Amino acid sequence: MHRPVADPKPVVWTIASSDSGGGAGIQADLHTFNALGCHGCSVIAAITAQNSTDVLSTEAVSPAIFIAQLNCLLNDLPPKAIKIGLIPDVQLLQQLVLWLAEHKAKHRFSVIADPVLSSSTGVNFASEQLISNWQQLLPLLDLITPNLPELALLSGMPDAPVASQALLLTQAGAAAVLAKGGHNPDSTDITDCYISDSASFGLTQPRITTANNHGTGCVLSSAIAVACAHGYPLHDALIVGRAYLQQALAQGYPTGKGAGCLQHHSWPIDYRYFPKLHGPGTIPEPLLRFASMAAPIGLYPIVDSVQWLKRLLPLEPDVIQLRIKLGSASEIEQQVAQAVQLSNDYKLRLFINDHWQLAIKYGAYGVHLGQQDLNEADLPAIAAAGLRLGISTHSYAELLRARQLGPSYIALGHIFATQTKQMPSRPQGLQRLVHYAALCRDIPTVAIGGIDMLRLQAVVNCGVDGVAVVSAITAQTDPEHAFVQLKNQFQQYKVESRYAHNA
């Protein structure tokens, strides 16, 4: 019998040094790659003799074997992403700068660098020449993740604010900087500061006080590289990396007489391990709270007119959304007013897309907003009016932003390619849907985008509470029959999914 061919794992390289104690360096990188579903390759820059208390000796590999490793791997196992760690030898770092300059643009891999300039046991690798070569590496990096002492050395501005130091590295060529805040002793929280030419924000998490913290910088940068290799945009890769690190720290274990190791587990799905976002475009404290859905969502049709509403209402949908994009202001208001009245007559939970003022004015059940609409809508007014709130999301960053609002439900999409509207992102796919839904176990979720009868069961099995459909109903020759069939199948698949989960 032939077994199905599995999708190939993304290839990720680590260019770093070996840790004979197994908690950091190449060893920690490879553990992280494996735990997060990538195939790891290693280019060893140096071998260290170290345990949990001391780094006793470091010996760099020869320039010839260093370059041979790079070229050998590139010929057969080209990377989706490269993580760079400890390279204690100036000549090797110079060679890496030249090698990346020759190959990075052609092969289009991401480069994430953790500039290890000292060890957690106090060994210093930061010569003036090494720092100079790291600065030459900056224009070839998609992200650099220095801790605060490393940031001060690389920026040459130890007394400047962290954001100013990070900005200086971007001006020197780095595409983005994540300044890690773990060395700040003045807070019970840790805030990492992200800065690029196009964005800046902070990621904050509670500080986990533990002796089992060897290799935190290696693990964070490796997890970010893995997420990039899986195709996540950088802001999402940061979130995944930070959550993976927090999870690994929380489950760390002792080894020898010194610092213990992080526990490599799996893709993070527990919300308590994820950071809070703050900065431009994020939602400040105190958090808002919107009314709950009160009953399961189920099949969730989205229609663009009252005429469609009238066709589906006799079939008793549980929830429906009116998404009107065309018409004058008076025409739209007339349709919203009529739709709300109809929904009250049929005791239907009606969400109005975008037009939150009209939804409040006519007393709709709820409002559905996209990410851009969140910046413009009066969210406290919507909450005060008792309306439910649904929010569209297309990424981890948008999902965390939505969660911080306490909405009535979160829409996850678009799962598959769709022709119903122009989308700002790539289709998310089923695996990401599984991760997103698991992150929202305490908030109802709705999958949306390109879902039809053939894809319905696979989507339901991802753990969502509802499935939104548009053309699967409105583009069919018999829309009423399509609705009834989809609704019945959704209910059947949901029962089967619960049974399988509990078995």
Binding residue numbers:
321-325, 353-354, 373, 392, 418-421, 450, 470-471
Strands 445-448 vs 176-179: parallel, antiparallel or unpaired: unpaired
Residue holding tokens 């280019």?
A: 43
Of 115, 33, 32, 138, the residue nearest 77 (C-alpha): 33
How far is residue 166's CA from residue 174's CA, in Å, rounded to a whole number? 9
Strands 81-84 vs 11-19: parallel, antiparallel or unpaired: parallel
Q: Answer yes or no: are the C-beta atoms of 52 and 214 closer than 8 Å.
A: yes
The secondary element (H helix, E strand) that includes residue 322 is strand 319-322
Of 263, 353, 372, 347, the residue nearest 305 (C-alpha): 353
Burial per residue of 245-284, b for 16 or more beta-carbon CB atoms within 10 angstroms, e otherwise: bbbbbbebeebeebbbbbebeebbbebebbbbbbeeeebe
- The span from the first CA to the last CA of the chain, in angstroms, equals 28
| Nearby residues of 303 by Cβ (< 8 Å), 6 or more positions away | 309, 312, 320, 321, 322, 323, 470, 473, 474
Q: What letter would DSSP give residue 58?
A: E
Side-chain-side CA neighbours of residue 385 (13 Å):
20
Q: Answer yes or no: are the C-beta atoms of 357 and 388 closer than 8 Å.
A: no
Give me the amino acid identity at 201: F
Q: What letter would DSSP give residue 344?
A: H
Residues at the annotated binding site for Mg(2+)?
354, 373
How far is residue 129's CA from residue 141's CA, in Å, rounded to a whole number? 19
Of 189, 245, 178, 179, the residue nearest 212 (C-alpha): 245
What order do you get walking across the sheet with 55-60 strand by strand?
55-60, 39-50, 11-19, 81-84, 110-113, 143-144, 176-179, 189-196, 200-206, 276-278
Is the backbone peptide bond immediately before 2 cis, with ω within 30 degrees of 0? no
